Amino acid sequence: MINPTDYLPQNLKCLRGKKGWSLSKTAVETGVSKAMLGQIERGESSPTIATLWKIATGFNTSLSYLVERKATEEERKSTLLTDANKLRKQIADDGMLVAILQPYDPVLGFDLLEITFPDGYERYSEPHKSGVTEFTVVIDGEMEIQTEGKWFTLKKGQTLRFHGDKGHSYRNLSGAPATVHCIIHYPEG
């Protein structure tokens, strides 16, 4: 889970500063209470994945931009090798594991995540900002994604592209963990 030594508190403060938002304004824009936002900024709370996505969506940014260290300009221009085995961690208390393989880069407009959904996992995801598209590739196991009122069962090697700016759900009732690669593309701005 995210702990106070991670980047979330400072990144949230930085995003608020860039927007010139008070905690009250941030609460309105994200749908997360002012008290919870304050606790996150002080490193006193480990938010759920749903809360993290609400914050990211409210700021019109990616999850990785919210929780990861910001790359320097030099780092952004260089070749980047990542290892999911070293990056994989539980970022919330719901059992889901996430490895941010390629963090959000505003020039490219996307991030690449490896997500492992434990057996029995179910989550509704609020719509992201307008124009966001998700691409999900099942690397191991089997899972289901619901979008636009229809459930799609995906097995190893199958891909689903869908509108992330519409409500969608994930569930894994397969009896074993399911691992996916997820590319989330954010429109300009």
pLDDT at 170: 96
What pLDDT score was predicted for residue 93? Answer: 67
- Give residue-wise pLDDT tens across range 52-102: 888 988 888 888 888 887 777 777 777 877 777 777 777 666 788 888 888
Report whether pLDDT(145) > 60. yes
pLDDT single digits (tens) 149-166? 999 999 999 999 999 999
What residue segments make up the domains of the chain, in order of their start? 8-67, 80-185
Look at residue 189 in the predicted model and tell me its pLDDT.
54
pLDDT at residue number 80: 75
Sheet holding 168-171: strands in order across?
A: 122-125, 168-171, 142-147, 150-155
Main-chain phi, psi angles of 56, to 5 degrees: -60, -45
Residue (of 57, 59, 68) closest to 102 by Cα position: 68
**Distance between CA atoms of residues 118 and 100, nearest Å:** 17
Residue 134's pLDDT band (boundaries 50, 70, 90)? very high
- DSSP structure class, residue 181: E
For domain 80-185, the CATH architecture is Sandwich (2.60)
Determine the pLDDT at residue 92. Answer: 65
pLDDT for res 1:
41
Tokens found for residue 102: 């390629």
Q: Which of 126, 127, 98 is nearest to 2 (CA)?
A: 98
What is the pLDDT at residue 3?
Answer: 42
Q: 66: closest CA among 76, 75, 57? A: 57
Nearest 5 degrees, angle CA 105-CA 2-CA 50? Answer: 75
C-alpha to C-alpha distance for 109 and 189, rounded to whole angstroms: 9
Question: What pLDDT, on a 0 to 100 scale, did the predictor assign at position 179?
Answer: 97
Q: How confident is the model at residue 5 (pLDDT cuts 50, 70, 90)?
A: very low
Q: How far apart are alpha carbons 137 and 158 in whole angstroms?
A: 6
The SS3 assignment for 137 reads: strand
Check for a shared fold between 8-67 and 80-185: no
In this structure, is the dihedral angle defined by the CA atoms of residues 35, 52, 125 and 172, taken in order, positive or negative?
A: negative
Q: Tell me which of 108 and 181 has the higher pLDDT.
A: 181
Which residues, including other chains, have CB under 8 Å from residue 130's CB and lie 6 or more apart? Answer: 165, 187
Of 189 and 78, the structure prediction assigns the larger pLDDT to 78
The CATH code for residues 8-67 is 1.10.260.40
